[in-house]
Amino acid sequence: MKFELIIIGNELLNGKIQDKNIHWFSKYCYEHNYSLTGVQIIGDSRTDFKKALDKAKLTADIIVTTGGLGPTKDDITKSMMAEYFEKEIHHCEEALEITLSHYKRGKKEYKADKLHYPKIPKDFKALYNPTGYAPGLSFEFDQDKYIFNTPGVPSEFKSVVTESITPLLPSTDSFSKHVIIKTWRLPEVAIFSELCPDLWEKLEVYGEVSSLPHLLGVDIGIKINNANEEQKIIDLVNTTKLKDYIWHIGSETLEEVIIQKAKEKDIKFGFAESCTGGLCASRITDISGCSSVFWGSIVSYSNEVKMKALNVSSETLENFGAVSLETAKEMAEGAFVNMNLDIAITTTGIAGPGGATEGKAVGTVGIGFATKNKSESKIHKFNGTREELKFRFSQMALFTLLEQINEY
């Protein structure tokens, strides 16, 4: 089954907001064995909307639009649907019931004179919106071909797709899966040219192979059509030199793997962050269920906080500086004791563009850790903008945490 996604909104084209639905929806289609044939981003223009629909109908069985269902003048989706499919806009009792249920759930008053959610194109059906107020819409425009109109807000889009649209779609019997081998500490060229020069050909026996380089590592994907192939792939890579560089096999993120493994070992961990400004904690707390293992983070941006909250000595800061092996280690030891942790991880670095000193360039970061058995620190150097460096610092910190969890 072929899908096409049409994303509507001037704010996406003028840079006011960033689309967050494409990545999620492409992953959704892949996991459900649907083919996403294309994505179009258009402004609030009837002409552009018509062109997008004309194009999508040529290839797609299912067209999904996001945005334009709100109550303002630039929300043109309903009127455009009516115009395009030659339908009248009419009052729909089913749409009214769904709308009233949305407002009752949110403990809000529905004002019929100002909001027109129950007015939808004739022959369209209203869809329940589990997280918002505007109902989605569905319409069969040809035999077994549908168009679904959804809100553009990411949380509403996801919930309407998963809870209201998915049950309406025919199931697919074919099996397809991406086996993802996640590695770190080796660049792509080193894996396939030096460490395992014949690995690509060996993996191709099981399916289509892809390689995605990213910060600090490479994701190697193999698309399989037989569930039995996955274990064969795992057995294969475990016989190669690559096995020492694999941190996970699966689609889970680094944050998800950290929380999963920490739970398995009942480990309490936390951070003391300077240059990352709480980013490590933010990434971990994006994952539901982290509270059982994540204890907290001390953002010790100033030297005074490093001394008072983390017991870093003034002599260490004076003699070695805030960005040093010594400071990173003492920060970890202080966080370990003061937060009563099993593992403490620290970051102290120079994210730039200013702040560089002799011998310590922008991109320098000290990553420290402390456990019941030992405390250590290392200096790493990265390139990038301030925002990129903060993420790279946090990435190294999280990989350090994962290593310590594995060794615990």
Q: What is the average per-residue pLDDT within 213-240?
A: 94
Is residue 67 within 8 A of residue 8, CB to CB? The reply is: yes
**Could you give the percent of the chain with pLDDT greater than 90?**
88
| pLDDT confidence band for 272 (50 / 70 / 90) | very high
Supply the pTM of this predicted model. 0.81
Cis peptide before 187 (omega within 30 of 0): no
| pLDDT confidence band for 215 (50 / 70 / 90) | confident
Maximum distance among all alpha carbons in the chain?
A: 78
pLDDT higher than threshold 90 for residue 1: no
| pLDDT confidence band for 33 (50 / 70 / 90) | confident
Q: What share of the chain is helix, strand, coil (3-state, %, to 5)?
A: 40, 25, 35
Paired tokens of 253: 């993120």
Give residue 170's pLDDT: 76
Give residue 114's pLDDT: 82
Cα dihedral sign, 126-131-134-136: negative
pLDDT higher than threshold 90 for residue 31: no
Write the pLDDT tens digit of every residue in 356-376: 988 899 999 999 999 999 999
Is residue 396 within 8 A of residue 216, CB to CB? The reply is: yes
Write the pLDDT tens digit of every residue in 97-138: 999 999 999 999 998 888 889 999 999 999 999 999 999 999
Calpha distance 93→153 (Å, rounded): 25
Strand arrangement, sheet containing 208-214: 208-214, 217-224, 177-184, 246-249
**C-alpha distance from residue 182 to each of 9, 10, 106, 242, 259 (Å):** 36, 37, 42, 10, 17
Write the pLDDT tens digit of every residue in 144-201: 899 999 999 999 999 999 999 999 987 766 778 889 999 999 999 999 999 999 999 9
Q: What is the mean pLDDT of the chain?
A: 95
Is residue 188 within 8 A of residue 218, CB to CB? The reply is: yes
Domains and CATH numbers, the chain: 2-168 (3.40.980.10), 177-249 (3.30.70.2860), 254-407 (3.90.950.20)
Give residue 178's pLDDT: 87
Give residue 117's pLDDT: 93
Residue among 182, 188, 193 at smallest CA distance from 237: 182
Write the pLDDT tens digit of every residue in 334-344: 999 999 999 99
Query: What beta strand segments (E) does 81-168 contain?
Result: 89-91, 119-121, 125-127, 136-142, 145-150
Helix/strand/coil for 254 = helix
Classify residue 286 by its DSSP letter: T
Give residue 172's pLDDT: 66
| pLDDT confidence band for 71 (50 / 70 / 90) | confident
Give residue 173's pLDDT: 67
Q: What is the average per-residue pLDDT within 398-406?
A: 98
Is residue 363 within 8 A of residue 350, CB to CB? The reply is: yes
